[in-house]
Amino acid sequence: MRIDVVTLFPEFVAQCAAFGVVGRAVERGLLAVHGWNPRDYAEGNYRRVDDRPFGGGPGMVMMIEPLRAALRAARAADPAPARAIYLSPQGAPLTQARVRELAGRERLILLCGRYEGIDERLIAAEVDEEISIGDYVLSGGELPAAVLIDAVARLQEGALNDAESASQDSFEDGLLDCPHYTRPVVHELGRVPEVLLSGNHAAIARWRRAQALRRTWQRRPDLLAKAALTPADRALLDAWREEDGPADGGGPDRPA
C-alpha cells in the first residue's frame, strides 16, 4: 500500500511512520509513506500557502494553488488510482469498518489542513472523502493522518506478529475487547481469573466472549445494536439487564 500525505509538516508524518508496527510495515515493504509539502509548490520569495478569509474573520485559509500542485504531484508519482481524503473535524467519524475498507486499497492521498482549514473549492474539486478522528478540533491534520496511517498499517497482511493479531481487537466483531492478564498469577493488585489458567480452551473462549459482551454493554451499549449476537449472548444480556436494570449509556460498573 502507498500513502501520500500532503502536509506543511512532512517530517512530522515521516517520524510518526518510523516507529512500532507502522515502522515495521514500512521496513517489510508492506507500506510506503511519502510526504508532499505545498510550500514547495508555492510561488514568491515567501512561498506563501495561506491568505486571509474572504468575508473577514479570524485566522487564515490554505490557498488552492500550492495544495493543488502538491496533490497533483502526489497523484502523478504513481500510476495506481488514489483516493484523496481530507482529514477534517467535519468529516465522517473514522471507524474500524472504514479503516478496514481503506486498508484494502492500493493507494491513499491524505490532505492535512492547518489554520482555519482549506479553500472550499479545492475540497469540492479534489477530495473524495472527508474523515474526522473525533468531535474535537486539533490545530492540524497531521495527527489525524498519523492515526489513519497507523490504523491501516496494522491491518496490512504481515504487519503484525502473531502475538499482536488484530482479529480479536475491539470493534473487529462489533464488541469491545475482553480484559487481558499476564504474569504473575498472584499480585497485590489481584489474582488472574481462574478460568484463564484452566487450559480449557472452550471455557476460556466463553469467558472472553462474555467479558467482551459485558464491557460493551456497560461502556458502549450503542455498539450492541449492530453487533452479530448469538442466542447465548442475548441470554446473557437479558440476565444482566434483569439483575442491574437497563444500561443508561454507562451501565452499573462503568469506571468514572
Q: Which residue's C-beta sits nearest to ligand SAM? A: 113
Preceding omega of 184 cis (within 30 degrees of 0) = yes
Which one from 129, 130, 150, 169 is the annotated catalytic residue?
Answer: 169
Render the burial of 97-113: b for 16+ CB within 10 Å, e for the rest.
ebbeebbeeebbbbbbb
Spatial distance between the Cα atoms of 157 and 123, rounded to a whole number of angstroms? 32
Region of 177 on the Ramachandran plot (φ > 0 left; ψ -120 to 50 alpha; else beta): beta
Which one of 68, 107, 154, 215 is the catalytic residue? 154
Active site residue 116: yes
Q: Is 154 a catalytic residue?
A: yes
Q: How far apart are CB 235 and ligand SAM at their closest, in Å? A: 39
Q: Shortest approach of ligand SAM to residue 243 CB, angstroms?
A: 38
233 carries an active-site annotation? no
53, 78, 105, 116: the catalytic one is 116
Residue 145, burial from CB neighbour count under 10 angstroms (0-12, 13-18, 19+): buried
Site residues (CB under 6 A) for ligand SAM? 87-90, 112-114, 116-118, 132-134, 136-141, 144
135 is in an annotated binding site: yes
Smallest distance from ligand SAM to CB 152, Å = 15
Closer by beta carbon to ligand SAM, 78 or else 116: 116
Q: Is 61 exposed, middle or buried (0-12, 13-18, 19+ CB in 10 A)?
A: buried
137 is in an annotated binding site: yes
Q: Assess whether 89 carries a catalytic annotation.
A: yes
C-alpha cell at 231: 442466542
Question: Per the annotation, does 134 bind a ligand?
Answer: yes
Q: Where is the binding site, in residues? A: 113, 133-138
Which residues are known catalytic residues? 89, 116, 154, 169
